[in-house]
Chains A and B, each alone.
Chain A
Amino acid sequence: DQQVKQNSPSLSVQEGRISILNCDYTNSMFDYFLWYKKYPAEGPTFLISISSIKDKNEDGRFTVFLNKSAKHLSLHIVPSQPGDSAVYFCAASARTGNQFYFGTGTSLTVIP
């Protein structure tokens, strides 16, 4: 059963606007969350992470929000740029465990 879900397979946004990518999880033991960006035929690259002790983490144009009660996190990209077009994966782990669990990804297209 998928413990991390990204329900939107794709998203299109105009350049300069905000992109919001969503992720839901089911396991209440998860306490660390990450976002990765992936281009075709390449490995994912780490973007930003958040610990469950926080509800927001910001790094430049990227902000991740965590709502623990809803078991939901989101990645905001502002302003969106054409180079942001890629597949974005969210991932979760329980720091006491050994595994990372990935969502199925959301393909973001930023239209110039």
Chain B
Amino acid sequence: DGGITQSPKYLFRKEGQNVTLSCEQNLNHDAMYWYRQDPGQGLRLIYYSQIVNDFQKGDIAEGYSVSREKKESFPLTVTSAQKNPTAFYLCASNDRITDTQYFGPGTRLTVL
């Protein structure tokens, strides 16, 4: 059963703590993306990776970091430098043949 998994569904952290959000895909897609969604706003790109061991900043990369050590995995770390970390985070991967992005179920991060 192919797809993109994100865990956990809900995550709570204290202010000042770093937190890592998991994203795994078994679709054999090269490209993976992290977006953030806030109420009333569209999806804003945080980071993306076109290939293993390479990644690029998106529009709102400040306060975030990523790694891409394996094709299947693209974890996102929300650092204490991120001013407003509470949001809904979406991971996606891209099918190059159809040029379509497929999304995971999302992680709701709440920083207390």
* Complex interface: stretch among A53-61, A78-86, A101-109: A101-109
Verify if B50 is at the interface (C-beta below 8 Å from A).
Answer: yes
For B4, what are the chain A residues with a Cβ–Cβ distance below 8 Å? 43
For B58, what are the chain A residues with a Cβ–Cβ distance below 8 Å? 99
Residue on B nearest A95 in the bound complex, by CB: B99
A34 touches B100 (CB 8 A): yes
Total interface residues on B, using CB and 8 Å? Answer: 30
* B contact face: mostly helix, strand, loop, or mixed: strand
Residue on B nearest A105 in the bound complex, by CB: B42
* Complex interface: stretch among B11-19, B60-68, B69-77, B104-112: B104-112
For A32, what are the chain B residues with a Cβ–Cβ distance below 8 Å? 99
Least CB distance, B89 to chain A, in whole angstroms = 10
A102 touches B43 (CB 8 A): yes
A102 touches B48 (CB 8 A): no
Verify if B56 is at the interface (C-beta below 8 Å from A).
Answer: yes
For A44, what are the chain B residues with a Cβ–Cβ distance below 8 Å? 43, 90, 103
Total interface residues on A, using CB and 8 Å? Answer: 25
Count contacts between A and B, CB distance < 8 Å: 57
B100 touches A46 (CB 8 A): yes
Q: In the assembly, what is the distance between CA of A103 and CA of B35, in Å?
A: 13
B50 touches A98 (CB 8 A): yes
Interface string of A23-67 (1 = CB under 8 A from B): 000000000101010000111111001000000000000000000
Least CB distance, B66 to chain A, in whole angstroms = 15
Are A89 and B99 also in contact (CB < 8 A) when A43-B90, A43-B106 are? no
Q: In the assembly, what is the distance between CA of A104 and CA of B35, in Å?
A: 13
Residue on A nearest B35 in the bound complex, by CB: A102
Q: In the assembly, what is the distance between CA of A107 and CA of B58, in Å?
A: 26
Query: Can you pick out 20 interface pairs between chain A and chain B where the beta carbons lie within 8 Å of each other?
Result: A4-B42, A41-B88, A43-B6, A43-B92, A43-B103, A43-B105, A43-B106, A44-B90, A46-B100, A46-B101, A46-B102, A49-B99, A89-B43, A93-B99, A98-B56, A99-B48, A102-B35, A102-B43, A103-B42, A104-B41
